[in-house]
Amino acid sequence: MSQKTPVIIMGLGVIGRTIAKAALLAPDLEVVAAVDPAHAGERLGELLEDNSTMEVGADIAAVARLAKGGAVLQATGSYLHQVESQLEACMRARLNIVSTCEELAYPWLASPDRANVLDQLAHDYGVRIVGTGVNPGFVFERLSSIMSLVGGEVKRVHGVRVVDTRTRRHALQMKTGAGLTKEAFVGRVNNGGFGHVGLKESAALLALGCGMGKVDRVSESVEPVISDRELEAAVLVQKGQVAGIHQIARAYKNGAEVVTLDLTIAIGAENPRDEIRLDTDPPLELIVKGGTPGDTATAWASVHAVRQLIALSPGLKTVLDLPAGRARSIA
């Protein structure tokens, strides 16, 4: 078997811990360190409920040498400004980065200047960065792009994702407004920084992957899902309260709407699924019944991306740059 790739886990929240568990199981990776200031000094095994004796560190600089030639698996924030300094520290340590930061999936949409700076730094230090996950990362952009390879010109893409958060972590229920009044929900939306992050990035990246090129603009709407009955989950929702979020991203090119992504994340959401429809020749439709399990799937998407990413040239990448399958080479 070829030599294992050393990796450092950065961030040990729910997603970070799930990534750590997947990385420990991956036959081609070796977890050499874990970093999270909130858990510094604790044993990784205590957090993962396994027998790992590794002590969690507080700073990437202190452990970077252990992962020479490898990568950091980062799960610390959804917004680029939250993780930017961490990304720079990892690059200066000459480490590749696979991140779950949603805005990093396609940072040229909201922060082109920041994206260009990161890309230049990656080239300067000879490393690679990619933002990946399930949504954004896999469900819409990668699946749609692969589907488009068996059709003609793609004129329009319509995607639907429905997630019943009764099967998901408590933090996601809270993040999507479960238990709020409609007025409180609207207030949070108006204050900014609320709702699912990355749907606009998915729409723009999907258009590139399906051969439609760079879109002119992407709009987004966010509405509450109001429950018509009492719902029991980690968060108790009364009739008339918010059960979750309904979010739509629309991408436009030459005045026409070319991508529509319709996302519902709510306690008790009916008919959970991932659905993609491509207006092409022949027309194509894919439905994943039950939907792609977000937390575990994000962890494995991150783990599988490590080897694929390191094989690429330096720079800031997207999931469209990664190979479609697991095979690295048949040579």
Q: Could you tell me the residue ranges of all domains in the chain? A: 5-134+296-321, 141-291
Average pLDDT of the residues in 147-163: 97
9-18 tens-digit pLDDT: 999 999 999 9
Contact 299, 15 (CB under 8 A): yes
Average pLDDT of the residues in 144-166: 96
Q: Give the separation between CA 309 and CA 147, rounded to whole angstroms.
A: 22
Give residue 88's pLDDT.
97
Distances (CA, A) of 7 to 72, 78, 87: 5, 21, 15
pLDDT band at residue 211, thresholds of 50, 70 and 90? Answer: very high
Query: What does pTM read for this prediction?
Result: 0.94
Q: Dihedral sign for Cα 170, 171, 174, 175, please.
A: negative
Residue with tokens 């008919």: 271
Q: Give the separation between CA 140 and CA 204, rounded to whole angstroms.
A: 11
Q: Under CATH, to which class is 5-134+296-321 assigned? A: alpha beta
Contact 249, 203 (CB under 8 A): yes
Contact 284, 147 (CB under 8 A): yes
Do the domains spanning 5-134+296-321 and 141-291 agree at the CATH topology level?
no
Residue 167: how many CB atoms within 10 A of its CB? 15
Helix (H) and strand (E) counts in the chain: 9, 12
CATH number of 141-291, picked from 3.30.360, 3.30.70, 3.30.2010, 1.20.120: 3.30.360
Q: Give the separation between CA 231 and CA 6, rounded to whole angstroms.
A: 44
63-88 tens-digit pLDDT: 999 999 999 999 999 999 999 999 99
